[in-house]
Amino acid sequence: MPQNSDEYQSITKELYTKNVDLVNANKVLELIQALYEIMITSYSIESISYRFINTIADKLGFSDGLVVVPSSDGKSLEISGLTQSELNKTIMEVAGVATVNFRFDIKDQQNLLTNVYSTGKQRNTKKIYEVWTPYMKYGDVAGMDNQLILVYPIVYGQDILGSFALISANRAGLTDFEQRALDRIVTVFGIAMDRVKINERLEQAHERELAKAREIINLKDEFVFIATHDLRTPVTAIKGYSDLLKPEMEKMSSDIQEDFDAIYQSAERLDQLVEDLLEVARSESGTIYIETKPILVKEVIDRAVSEVSTIAKKKKVNITVNLYDDNCQILGDKEKLNEIFENLLSNAVKYNKEGGSVTLTSSLDVGGNVKFEVSDTGIGVPENLQEKMFSKFFRARQPGTEGIPGTGLGLFVVRMLVEKMKGTIKFESREGEGTKFIFYLPVAV
Amino acid sequence: MATNNEVFQSLIEAIIKHQELIIGPLAWSEAKSVVGLETKGDKVFVSGDGKAVLEKLVGKYEALFGQASVEACKDAVRPLLSSSKTDLPEILK
């Protein structure tokens, strides 16, 4: 317990001093918090510089401040942030130069900003012209000397990212609190600048990659379009003349017939590939045209079944069709619908076992769409390959698929056409047991 | 343009508010006891010689809390002084 009033006085003063320390510590924390908020909401060097220097000057009671950073060629320092003060306005008028045109030559060590940037060492002065030289000489602005001018480097790790100056009249030096605050500010400033530079570099890299990717996509699309158009003519010629020769080939020996069959099938495969590529190219360039008319589904299915009947017969695969209504109509494009069924039925036969079966059914779902299912008893697709089923040029290479012809574009085209007709498609598959494709198309009301 | 007393009013207000951060409501109750100084809410009104009133206020705090409180007063007025050429009492110079 204090024994007398002197002791009380002493305790009171001690407590007061501790409270001052607490208040100053709080102020430093508040300032750092304000700077942190600026750091996470600023995305350019100019924004960080301007907001930082104005906040620091305001909170610490400095009348003026500026920030400089290296120019893109690294030969000079340019102003990235400035307080909107009378002194700075006066200096601009005296120098006759707009803010954006100030360049401080890095080799000019008479200027404190460049000196501090080059050496990484903090400097003080009372002479304002030492911050603005060569744009100002001593005495250019009357009564503007004898200020407290502090110049700090902006440092991050081993790198010096710039420098900044704080200017104040009417004070001789810094209090402990201000000194501690500035020591922390210098660190935060460096972190903030570095963060923005990394963001800027990432954005530039991202822009470059995007531009590259766009260029590649455009080149690819152009290539596919031109190549398929240029391929069409010779392929059409090969198929056309092969069709003409077919009846004559039947009179030839079996060896010659076998060779001719190989040519004919290759021509057919090439023709299909060109058609698929053209379809893909048209879809991706937005030039594909899809009709939207009522289509009698049975008619289209009968045609598709007939088109795959030859290969089905060869493999002894039985195709069964069960429609909920023979007069069912959907809204869509007849030719594209035929392509969908032909692709799905063709796959169901090609990937089926000898003597297997294919079933095509239809039903009306609660959403008012027609649900189609094409299922087979074929080799199925391994689970690890199923996510790629609808990808371009994907072909599941597994035992049992050797020698099966295909372009790898069939299912990609099927999905594209179903979606263009406002439908959806999915599939279920078990390796060794078979696959079922299910798709929905809007019913024609 | 602010009158001389209005300038001192601003300085006194800044000092009291700064002292309030350190010693709480005691800052205002001590200020009220300074002759020539009237407080209403968080506003102050100076009558008579503003410079003298300011000096008395700082002296009051110094008497209670010592030199540390004088430094705190200087910190409080510094931002306001940079834009004016006020004739400060010796204790704040």
Q: Which pLDDT tens digit goes with each residue over A275-308?
A: 777 777 777 766 677 888 899 999 999 999 998 9
Residues A170, B71: C-beta atoms closer than 8 Å:
no
- The larger pLDDT score, comparing residue A277 to residue A257, is at A257
ipTM: 0.85
Q: Apex CA B69: angle with CA B66 and CA B72, to 5°?
A: 155
- Mean pLDDT, residues A18-27 taken together: 87
Find the closest chain B residue to A8 by CA distance: B64
Residue A404 has pLDDT above 80, yes or no: no
Nearest chain A Cα distance for residue B46, angstroms: 24
Helices A254-285/A176-249 angle, 10° precision: 150
- Identify from A8, A18, A20, A88 which residue to disrupt to test chain B contact, counting B C-beta atoms within 10 A and taking the largest count: A20
Residues A61, B71: C-beta atoms closer than 8 Å:
no
Beta carbons of A323 and A370 less than 8 angstroms apart: no
Taking contacts as CB-CB distances below 8 angstroms, the residues of chain B near A19 are 22-23
Pick from A382, A376, A259: nearest CA to A267: A259
Round to whole Å and give the CA distance between A51 and A69: 15
Taking contacts as CB-CB distances below 8 angstroms, the residues of chain B near A169 are 81-82
Question: Would you state the pLDDT for residue B82?
Answer: 54
- Mean pLDDT, residues A429-444 taken together: 92
Question: Would you state the pLDDT for residue A287?
Answer: 66
- Mean pLDDT, residues A264-268 taken together: 79
Find the closest chain B residue to A15 by CA distance: B65
- Ranges A169-178, A191-200, A409-418: which has the least confidence: A169-178
DSSP lists the bridge partners of residue A159 as A156
- Ranges A8-12, A45-49, A355-359, A396-400: which has the least confidence: A396-400
Q: What is the dihedral of CA A232, A235, A237, A240, to 10 degrees?
A: -110
Taking contacts as CB-CB distances below 8 angstroms, the residues of chain A near B81 are 169-170
Find the closest chain A residue to B66 by CA distance: A13
Confidence of residue A27 (pLDDT cuts 50, 70, 90): confident
**Tell me: the pLDDT tens digits for A316-358?**
999 999 999 999 999 888 989 999 999 999 999 999 989 999 9
The mean pLDDT value of chain A amounts to 86
- Mean pLDDT, residues A103-112 taken together: 91
3-state SS, one letter per residue, for A228-256: HHHHHHHHHHHHHHHHHHHHHHCCCCHHH
Round to whole Å and give the CA distance between A336 and A295: 11
Taking contacts as CB-CB distances below 8 angstroms, the residues of chain B near A20 are 22, 68, 71-72
Structural Rg of chain A based on CA atoms: 40
Residue A173 has pLDDT above 80, yes or no: no
Residue A33 has pLDDT above 80, yes or no: yes
Residues A17, B64: C-beta atoms closer than 8 Å:
no
- The larger pLDDT score, comparing residue B86 to residue A366, is at A366
**For a pLDDT cut of 70, what percent of chain A falls above it?**
94
Pick from A374, A298, A310: nearest CA to A338: A298
Question: Would you state the pLDDT for residue A398?
Answer: 67
- Mean pLDDT, residues A38-61 taken together: 90
A12, A17, A23 ranked by CB distance to B21: nearest: A23
Round to whole Å and give the CA distance between A49 and A163: 10
Confidence of residue A4 (pLDDT cuts 50, 70, 90): low
Pick from B53, B5, B3: nearest CA to B31: B53
Low-confidence ranges of chain B (pLDDT < 70): 1-2, 82-85
Q: Which two tokens stand for residue A5?
A: 């009033």
Residues of B in CB contact (< 8 Å) with A are 21-23, 64-66, 68-69, 71-72, 75, 78-79, 81-83
Taking contacts as CB-CB distances below 8 angstroms, the residues of chain B near A17 are 68
Q: Are β-strands A318-322 and A357-364 bridged in parallel, bridged antiparallel, or unpaired?
A: parallel
Question: Would you state the pLDDT for residue A377?
Answer: 94
Nearest chain B Cα distance for residue A22, angstroms: 8
Confidence of residue A154 (pLDDT cuts 50, 70, 90): very high
Question: Would you state the pLDDT for residue A400?
Answer: 67
Residues A16, B21: C-beta atoms closer than 8 Å:
no
Question: Would you state the pLDDT for residue A143?
Answer: 63
A13, A62, A177 ranked by CB distance to B65: nearest: A13
**Tell me: the pLDDT tens digits for A190-223?**
999 999 888 888 888 989 988 888 888 777 777 7
